Amino acid sequence: MDAKVTLSFDKNVIDRAKSFAEENNISLSRLTEYLYTQITSKNYKSLEDLPVSDWVDFVAEGRVEYRKPPNRKALKDKFFSSKK
C-alpha cells in the first residue's frame, strides 16, 4: 500500500534527481522509495555509512550538509514575532 509524503529539497537537487530518475526509467517517487529501502534495510550507525552517500554527493552541489529543520513551534514563534 502506498502512502503520500511531502518532502522539501533544494530545487537544483530535485532537478538533477528527476533527470537521473528519467534516465533510469524510474519515477522520482520510486527512486526515493528505493533509497529509503536501502537506508532502512541494514543497521547503519551513521549517515556516512549509508550506501547512498556517493549518490547524494553526485546530485548535491558542494559539500553535503545534513541538518534538521526548525520545529513548527519555532517557525510559528518567528513568524508571529516578525509581525509585531
3-state secondary structure of 67: coil
Cell numbers found for residue 7: 518532502
Cell numbers found for residue 55: 549518490
Average the pLDDT over 59-68 and give the result.
65
pLDDT at 70 over 80: no
Number of structural domains found in the chain:
1
Q: What is the pLDDT of residue 58?
A: 64
Residue 45 — φ and ψ, nearest 5°?
-95, -20
Distance (Å, whole) CA 17 – CA 22: 8
Domain range for residue 46?
1-64
Cell numbers found for residue 15: 532537478
Total-model pTM = 0.52
In a domain, 72, yes or no: no
In a domain, 83, yes or no: no
